[in-house]
Chain A
Amino acid sequence: MGRIVGIDLGTTNSLVAYLDAQTGQPKCIPGPTGSTLCPSVVSLDPDGSIIVGEPARRRLLTQPERTIYSVKRLMGRGPADVQSELKLFPFRIDPSSNHVIRVQFGDKVFTPPEISSFILRELKNWAEAYFGETVARAVITVPAYFNDPQRQATKDAGKLAGLEVLRLVNEPTAAALAYGLHEEQRGKVAVYDLGGGTFDISILKLISTSDGDIYQVLSTNGDTHLGGDDIDNLLQAFVHERILQNDKIDFSPHGELAQELRKELIALKHKLSEVDSVTLRFPLPNGKVFIHEFTRGALEALIHPVVDRTMVPVGQALVDAHLKPAEVDEVVLVGGATRTPLIRRTVQEYFDRKPHTELNPDEVVALGAAVQANILANGVQNMLLLDVTPLSLGIETYGGAVAKVIPRNSTIPASAQELYTTGVDNQTGIDIHVLQGERELAKDCRSLARFTLRVPPAPAGLPRIEVKLLIDANGILQVSAKDLRTGTEHSIEVQPSYGLNDNDIERMLEESIEYAEQDFAERQAIEARTEAESILTATAKALANPNAANLSVPERAKIDSCVAALKEAAQGSDYKQIRRQIDELNQATEHLAELLMNSALQSALEGKKLAEV
């Protein structure tokens, strides 16, 4: 049978976990660097190979046009949906994109599910290296507020990565599973999950029965485009504006400089969760250094709108669960962004209780996915998860209105039957349009599928066709139809309004084989080469700086010889040799790095490696 792993496919980081049979507890699997976090960054090497994770993240600085982050924001969306994102994210959308977005990477284009599949394949490799065996089945988490196309895109990504996706589990629900197992807590639990790009709130009831524990989701709400990314964007916009005013330098979001600044600001944001003030010193291309002191108070004033936006779905979820804030027994915080003191304070005040932060907010979703994977591997034994659909399902009626057939927060699987007949004699088709959302008009809801029911010619009103809409345990729509007069099942070709059709997937599966099975050493060599490239670029840049003239002759000679040695090692495939040369070059350039810092920078950057400056 093989193992089933749990995967958290995140906006910023992705993780893979499994349930340890000995301890009965879930555990995250570390990658080659020892970290369990795989940055959700993908880069396409000029030689055609795909680089994922930490090495790809470093390439954001050196090869931004061949590297992409936060691709989760594009999953299951059409080109028209993402126009506002394009101002803030360096996505290069292929202009020929129609119903499916295609992202340009250097000379190639990939769809968001393909890009996500590269991340999933990397995690699959981590798990296989860890277990020493093939891993072919997985549970993957998605934001609870993901709609049908977003879920379908995630499932497609799994398939393209060579994984059978046994279940999509909602992220806050997964967190509750991990939390419930850990704390053995019962009662009503609110899970506040602010990730890199998405926000979810879920209210659950944890029930002990004689059969075992039931995790019943009462309601869920959220915003699939609200997260830590938005905090970073606000910070970046603030600094861009200042630099534009003071130094007349305009940052394009695509550029290297913007990426470097973003990296600094994210580090600064993290520090401000620990200390009260941090000074940003950012060297500008005109030789000046942008200096600005950020206090925690100023940061909080800046990000207040983001935090306020999360509280609207929180209120709605409580209303839908028929609960007042005080009736919630426990509050659990999930997602890296919930380390922000302002968020902790806001949530604590709203529910009037201290939120749980015992579990690592980065890992808890993957851990919960591993728990669900174990349930599916062994059959329900002492735990059962009952989740809900986050959005109402409806059918377009006369005049462009929507008739809701499955209300939001219905326990899934859920279904609805609608009866159709013809309006005129010998009508041969009935058009059906299925939508998801809470608005009253079809044009304001998400179109899921359109199809035509074929009807044999008959007098008007005589045909009786029953259409059945079913939302499965993954939150994905299935459609079937039955002719009630003859009892025959109709086959329906549902053309998804967004996303890939079966032919697309088949073609991509064929193409994906060329990126597939690289052996471990080969992957390590590729990663090491990437790192080599990034340090070589940084060294060349540093040597071009006027301050480099202050190097002693032996120092300069040492650097030159290390550069040559690294270049030579990078030609080969021995990753250990490449790593050794990287370390040597790092040592040789320590003094150079110091020289490059002017007096203002010196204190802040002492002891840093060149690549980090």
Chain B
Amino acid sequence: MASSLPITNPPLVCWNCHERTVGTHFCSSCGKVLQVAENSDYFAMFEMPRKLWVEMTALEQKFLQLSWKLHPDNFMNATAEEREISLKRSSELNDAYRTLKDPVVRVEYLLAIEGARKEGQTKQQAPPELLEEVFELNESLDELREAKSSGADTASMKHRLEAAETNFEGKLREVDGELQNAAREWDNAIDESADPTRRKALMSKLNELLNRRSYIRNLVVNVQKELL
């Protein structure tokens, strides 16, 4: 896959003028809004390479620019077919912006379109090095729930859980840092046109970090819920 090259959609045939067209959003010969291309992805919509570091101001500006052109408000007096296409295109644009602007969702999306996202069983399974701490945490959570239902004093247990919460929040920041580093490695690999083996290894690393992150995040959310 030629991810390092600037992405342009392969030529397709315009639904309106039936000419072959090279535009991303509008037909290069008749100017009509184009159908969503089957093989298009969010990076291609923004005419960006599949890299993980994104300049936010540029992304926003591109989003606003495309919104002007694709929003259904522009197509109120157009044919039913064009209105339908505009609705699809502008929803796709909004979905793309929502996905790319969040750094974690962006990684998930990249792995998904590269066919490398595997949530699998890891979601339920604690990473081995966390097993002991997670076991303790779950015990404390059970104790607190029991104490709550029997009306016993919960102050000391809450205290312990708060400490655990702080601990896991720290781990969350750690994993976020690792994710950032791995993302940078990925971008470098793209810039250097790295071989498929190295890319595969990086993607599997990113995937593992995502699973680890989502596991820790679930833990933190669960603790926060009990502490409320």
Q: Chain A interface (Cβ within 8 Å of chain B)?
A: 166, 207, 209, 211-212, 214, 216, 375-377, 379-380, 384-386, 407, 410-416, 470-473
Contacts and interface: CB of A to CB of B under 8 A. Distances in A.
A399 to B, nearest CB: 14
Interface stretch (B66-74, B137-145, B199-207): B66-74
B17 interface: no
B95 A415 contact: yes
A214 B61 CA distance: 11
26 contacts: A166-B76, A209-B64, A211-B65, A212-B68, A216-B64, A375-B73, A376-B73, A379-B73, A379-B74, A380-B68, A380-B71, A380-B73, A384-B68, A384-B73, A386-B67, A410-B94, A411-B98, A412-B94, A413-B87, A413-B90, A414-B95, A414-B98, A470-B87, A471-B91, A472-B72, A473-B87
Nearest to B77: A379
B73 A410 contact: no
B67 A416 contact: no
Interface string B69-92: 001111011000000000110111
B3 to A, nearest CB: 23
Contacts of A415: 88, 91-92, 95
Given A209-B64, A384-B67, A470-B87, A411 B73 contact: no
Interface string B88-114: 101110110110000000000000000
Interface residues of B, number: 20
A524 B206 CA distance: 72
B64 A214 contact: yes
A473 B73 CA distance: 9
Contacts of B67: 214, 384, 386
B102 to A, nearest CB: 10
Nearest to A471: B91
Interface of B: 61, 64-65, 67-68, 71-74, 76-77, 87-88, 90-92, 94-95, 97-98
A473 to B, nearest CB: 5
Contacts of A416: 95
Nearest to A416: B95
Contact of B64 (A207, A375, A412, A413): A207
A163 to B, nearest CB: 15
A385 B73 contact: yes
A214 B87 CA distance: 19
Interface centre among B61, B71, B72, B91 (most CB of A within 10 A): B91
A386 B76 contact: no
Contact of B94 (A209, A214, A411): A411
Given A410-B94, A472-B87, A379 B76 contact: yes
A164 to B, nearest CB: 11
Contacts of B91: 412-415, 470-471
Contacts of B98: 407, 410-411, 414
B54 to A, nearest CB: 17
B66 to A, nearest CB: 11
Contacts of B94: 410-414
Contacts of A385: 73
Given A413-B90, A470-B91, 8 more contacts: A211-B65, A214-B64, A376-B76, A379-B73, A386-B71, A411-B94, A414-B98, A470-B87
A376 B61 CA distance: 23
A414 B88 CA distance: 9
